[in-house]
Structure 1
Amino acid sequence: MSYGTLISPRELHALRQSSSPVLVCDCTFDLADTGAGARGYAAGHIPGAVYVDLDRDLSGAKTGDNGRHPLPRREDVAALMARLGASDDTQVVAYDAVGGAMAARLWWLLRWAGHPASAVLDGGLAAWRAAGLALEQEPPASPRPGRFTLRPPLSATVEYDEVRANLHAQAPRLVVDARAADRFRGENETLDAVGGHIPGAVNRFFRDNLQPDGRFKSPSQLKAEFDALLGATPANRVISQCGSGVTACHNLLGMEIAGLTGAALYPGSWSEWSSRPGSPIATGER
């Protein structure tokens, strides 16, 4: 059995005790303290987990106008996974201590690389602890390299020019912004030089996908909430964005859990849009 969206702590524990190949990745990261994730990993992580860094491993080279966390190349994703010991039949499980915000990025990248056995630990590190499962401090031994091959993408992207052209399309796609409501309105912007949002976008803060305990809401609840947001727009006409293409993946995961498939990621997101001269900018609720 493989997992393509979420896996529970008990399911992951059982999987690790079986003979099935599994790679567990700790993706915890703090935008305000970029070393905090690695320190947290060293203080205690799920046994056998490797640390995967947002800046180093899950992002590509910056050009100055392609956003704060541009996508790595698909070939680089495959090389990373192989180096960490994953092969084409490996179940990869991503987790973090920040509500799945960073783990969802790895989940999405793996789907983009064509790897369907990619899941996020539901509830993250807190849920693992709450289940009474052990942590360890020592990193695992260096793995034997895996055979991880690129396959047709299971997720889609759109680029800046497509999003810009979408503003004037007769039947525009719906842009869903995963940032907090105040940043969407153009208030309290601390990460990017300009506040606001892409004209016509709607707001779905990624944390709205979660229950109070940090686990994802049920598929039926997520579907009802996304249906209310999207209206008549089908999922395959949705563009997901955020500040830099990271938490937008959380909304894409929420939609996938809800059975709403086919939405695309705008990787550059607001950090790219707001840095490009002449990009139209809206403020307020919508």
Structure 2
Amino acid sequence: MTYRTLISADDLKALLDAQGKVLILDCEFDLAQPDNGPAAYRVGHLPGARHAHLDHDLAGPTTGTNGRHPLPDRAAFADWLRAQGLGKGQLVVTYGGMGQSGAARAWWLLRWMGHADVAVLDGGRDAWVAAGHELESGEADDVAPGDFEPGLPLVAGTVSAKDVLANIETGEAQVLDARDPARFSGENAAMDPVAGHIPGAKCRFFRANLAEDGTFRPAAELRAEFEALLGGEPAILQCGSGVTACQNALAMEIAGIPGAFVYPGSWSEWIADPSRPVVTGSEPWGEDEFRHKL
């Protein structure tokens, strides 16, 4: 059986019990306190999991104008994946990180690197524990390097700030902003020096993709909501720094709506240039809709 979007805790346990060769990436992170992710990993993680740090492993260097979590260099990321033991065609399972956004970022990056066999653990570590499976603690063991080689991207691709700016005029794609409604509307700018959103964007708060237990909602429900938002247009996904946007990308893949583009720099890059337009307030399917869902 192949896993390309989600895998359940019990299915993953069965693979591990059968001595299946699986690379598990713990992607726990805390935007406010970056050391919390590694600390949580040391306290308890899935057996054999290796920690993937959002700032150091799943992102590249920042320049002050390219956003908080720019994409890593492909060659450098391939080296890191090999160092984790990744081999050609090996299944990778990711979990954790603010509503599975860290896990979705790793999932998207692996597909961007041309690796098809990657899935997010549905419900994350909580689902693993709830299913009665054990955790282990401490640091990761040393592993032999894998023979992974990057290939052609298996995602639609990325867009630049220039592309998004042009799209404001053309309206060829619908921008979906994964940030929470208060940040989208401009009520809360605690994380950014400028409040608001990209003109024409709609709010698709990433947590709206999840059920109360942290698992992803049914595909049919997700499909209906994304289709209503998009109105038949292609999607450009953004957020604060290109992380929670990947959770929307995963939700769309689950829903059977592939082909979304990701704007990696997202809001933190957009506002680095004061000439780029910003608006505040709710848009259709924005703040009021998702406040109701929460």
| TM-score class, shorter | over 0.9
Find the counterpart in structure 2 of residue 54 from structure 1: 54
SS of alignment partner, residue 25 of structure 1: strand
Find the counterpart in structure 2 of residue 243 from structure 1: 240
Residues 31-69 of structure 1: CA deviation (Å, up to 9, x unaligned) = 011111111111111110011100010010111100000
Find the counterpart in structure 2 of residue 194 from structure 1: 194
Residue 13, structure 1, aligned to residue 10, structure 2: no
Give the C-alpha shift of residue 96 in structure 1.
0.8
Find the counterpart in structure 2 of residue 147 from structure 1: 147
SS of alignment partner, residue 184 of structure 1: helix
Among 282, 286, 290, the residue aligned to 1:285 = 282
Find the counterpart in structure 1 of residue 23 from structure 2: 23
Find the counterpart in structure 2 of residue 86 from structure 1: 86
Q: Provide the rounded CA distance (Å) in 2 between the counterparts of 1:138 and 1:61.
A: 28
The total of aligned residue pairs comes to 282
Among 262, 265, 271, the residue aligned to 1:265 = 262
Give the C-alpha shift of residue 167 in structure 1.
1.2
Q: Percent same amino acid among aligned pairs?
A: 51
Contact 1:21–1:89 (CA<8 Å) still a contact in 2? no
Q: Provide the rounded CA distance (Å) in 2 between the counterparts of 1:231 and 1:168.
A: 18
Find the counterpart in structure 1 of residue 286 from structure 2: none
Alignment of 1:160-175 (within 5 A): 160-169=161-170, 171-175=171-175
Q: Provide the rounded CA distance (Å) in 1 between the counterparts of 2:33 and 2:63.
A: 22
Task: Show structure 2 runs of 5+ residues with no match.
Answer: 284-294
Amino acid at match of 2:252: M
Q: Provide the rounded CA distance (Å) in 2 between the counterparts of 1:97 and 1:131.
A: 20
Q: Provide the rounded CA distance (Å) in 2 between the counterparts of 1:18 and 1:80.
A: 27
Give the C-alpha shift of residue 2 in structure 1.
2.5
SS of alignment partner, residue 207 of structure 1: helix
TM-score (norm 1): 0.96
TM-score (norm 2): 0.94
SS of alignment partner, residue 102 of structure 1: helix
- Calculate the aligned-residue CA RMSD, in Å: 1.0
Amino acid at match of 2:165: R
Give the C-alpha shift of residue 138 in structure 1.
2.9
SS of alignment partner, residue 94 of structure 1: strand
SS of alignment partner, residue 251 of structure 2: helix
Contact 2:107–2:120 (CA<8 Å) still a contact in 1? yes
Q: Provide the rounded CA distance (Å) in 2 between the counterparts of 1:277 and 1:197.
A: 13
Residues 124-166 of structure 1: CA deviation (Å, up to 9, x unaligned) = 0111110010001133421100011111101110011111111
SS of alignment partner, residue 25 of structure 2: strand
Amino acid at match of 1:248: A
Task: Show structure 1 runs of 5+ residues with no match.
Answer: none
Contact 1:49–1:139 (CA<8 Å) still a contact in 2? no
Contact 1:7–1:120 (CA<8 Å) still a contact in 2? yes
Alignment of 1:113-124 (within 5 A): 113-124=113-124
Q: Provide the rounded CA distance (Å) in 1 between the counterparts of 2:191 and 2:76.
A: 26
Contact 2:179–2:203 (CA<8 Å) still a contact in 1? yes
Give the C-alpha shift of residue 97 in structure 1.
5.2
Q: 263-272 or 94-103: which moved more?
A: 94-103
SS of alignment partner, residue 167 of structure 1: helix
Contact 1:97–1:125 (CA<8 Å) still a contact in 2? no
Amino acid at match of 1:269: S
Q: 20-29 or 89-98: which moved more?
A: 89-98
Give the C-alpha shift of residue 193 in structure 1.
0.7
Contact 2:30–2:97 (CA<8 Å) still a contact in 1? no
Q: Provide the rounded CA distance (Å) in 2 between the counterparts of 1:231 and 1:114.
A: 29
SS of alignment partner, residue 166 of structure 1: helix
Amino acid at match of 1:31: L
Find the counterpart in structure 2 of residue 276 from structure 1: 273
Q: 63-72 or 17-26: which moved more?
A: 17-26
